[in-house]
Amino acid sequence: MTEDVTQRRYLQVQQRLQNMLEGGEYLPGDKVPSERELAQTLGVSRMTVRRAVDNLVRQGLLERDSTTGTRVSPPKVRRLLNHAHLHSITQMVAATGGRAGGKLLEFQMTAASGSVGQKLHLPPGSPVVMIRRLRLVDDVPFCLETSYLSARRVPGLAAEDLLGGESLYQLLEERFGIVAALGESMIGVAPARASEAQALNLQPDQAVLLYRSVVQDARGQPFEYLKSVNHPQLVVFNIGEGRAGSSL
C-alpha cells in the first residue's frame, strides 16, 4: 500500500471518528470502542485506527487512560460570562488547571468601519488597533479572536507587547489603566470559514461557536469590540456570577 493511500485511509478513519463524536452518540467522559472494535467496524487495520486516535488525542478531543481505555475529553476551556472576577481567557484557562498560550497572527492600525465605529462610539474612519490571535490551551488551538481597540485609548501599543502570549487585559490595565467591566455579548453558531477550520483543526464548514462582545471599562465606556470563533468540542460557555466583561 502506497503512502498516499495510507494517508487517505487514516484521514478517512479520523473523519469518521470525529463524526461519531460530533453526532452526540458519545458525550464527554464516555468510553469509545477499543482499537480492535473500531478496526473491525470500519474495516481497516488497527494501526490505521491507532494513528487516527493518536491524532484526536493530540487535538484534545480524546484522552487515554492506562486502566479504563480511551474516552471523550471534557471541554478544555470554560468561558465564563458575567463573572465578577474572571475577565480574560488567560485567567479562565488557569482557573480550570490548563496552560494558556497564544499566537499573534495579525496586528495593524486600521480605520474603523461603520459597524466597528458604532460599537466603540467612534466616528467611521477613526483609527483603531486590530489584533488577531490564535488562543491555545495546553498547546491545543481552541479559538480565533479578533479585537478592535480605539487607538486613542492605547497609544504606543505594539505587536511586540503580545508576541509571548501575554494577557491583553492585564496589559491594558497595567499600562493604560483600562479595567474591563460590563460587556454586551452575543453567542451563536456559524459554519467555519476555510482559514478558521484549518487553524482550529476542523473540517471546512463545520459549525463553530461564534462569540461577539462590546466590552466597557469601569466608567461604562466601550473600549473593545471582540469577535471570537470557538472550537465546538473544546469550549463551553457558562453564566458566571456578578457583573463583568467578556473573555479575552
SS3 call for 24: coil
Read off φ and ψ for residue 116, nearest 5 degrees.
-65, -45
pLDDT for 110 equals 96
| Choice among 78-87, 176-185, 188-197 with the minimum mean pLDDT | 78-87
Cβ neighbour number for residue 22 with a 10 Å cutoff? 16
Query: Which range has highest mean pLDDT (122-131, 133-142, 231-240)?
Result: 122-131
- Catalogue all structural domains in the chain, each as residue range(s) with its CATH number: 1-72 (1.10.10.10), 77-238 (3.40.1410.10)
Rounded to 10 degrees, what is the CA torsion of 7, 10, 12, 16? Answer: -160
Model confidence pLDDT, tens digit, residues 200-214:
988 888 889 999 989
| Choice among 24-38, 103-117, 125-139 with the minimum mean pLDDT | 24-38
| Choice among 17-31, 94-108, 126-140, 171-185 with the minimum mean pLDDT | 17-31
Residue 194 reports pLDDT greater than 80: yes
The three three-digit cell numbers of residue 93, written as one number: 484557562
pLDDT for 246 equals 38
How far is residue 114 CA from its own chain's centroid? Answer: 26
Q: How far apart are CA 109 and CA 129, in angstroms?
A: 5
Model confidence pLDDT, tens digit, residues 21-55:
776 677 777 888 888 888 888 888 889 888 888 88
Q: How far apart are CA 85 and CA 80, in angstroms?
A: 10
| pLDDT averaged over every residue in the chain | 84
Q: Are 213 and 79 in contact (CB under 8 A)?
A: no
pLDDT for 201 equals 87
pLDDT for 242 equals 41
pLDDT for 243 equals 39
pLDDT for 210 equals 92
- Quick one: pLDDT band at residue 240, thresholds 50, 70, 90? low
Q: How far apart are CA 143 and CA 88, in angstroms?
A: 13
Bridge partners, 230 (sequence order)? 143, 209
Share of the chain above pLDDT 90, in %: 38
Model confidence pLDDT, tens digit, residues 136-181:
988 889 999 999 999 999 999 999 999 887 789 989 999 999 998 8
Bridge partners, 142 (sequence order)? none
**CA atoms within a 13 Å half-sphere pointing along the CA-CB vector of 176:** 20
Residue with cell 458604532: 118
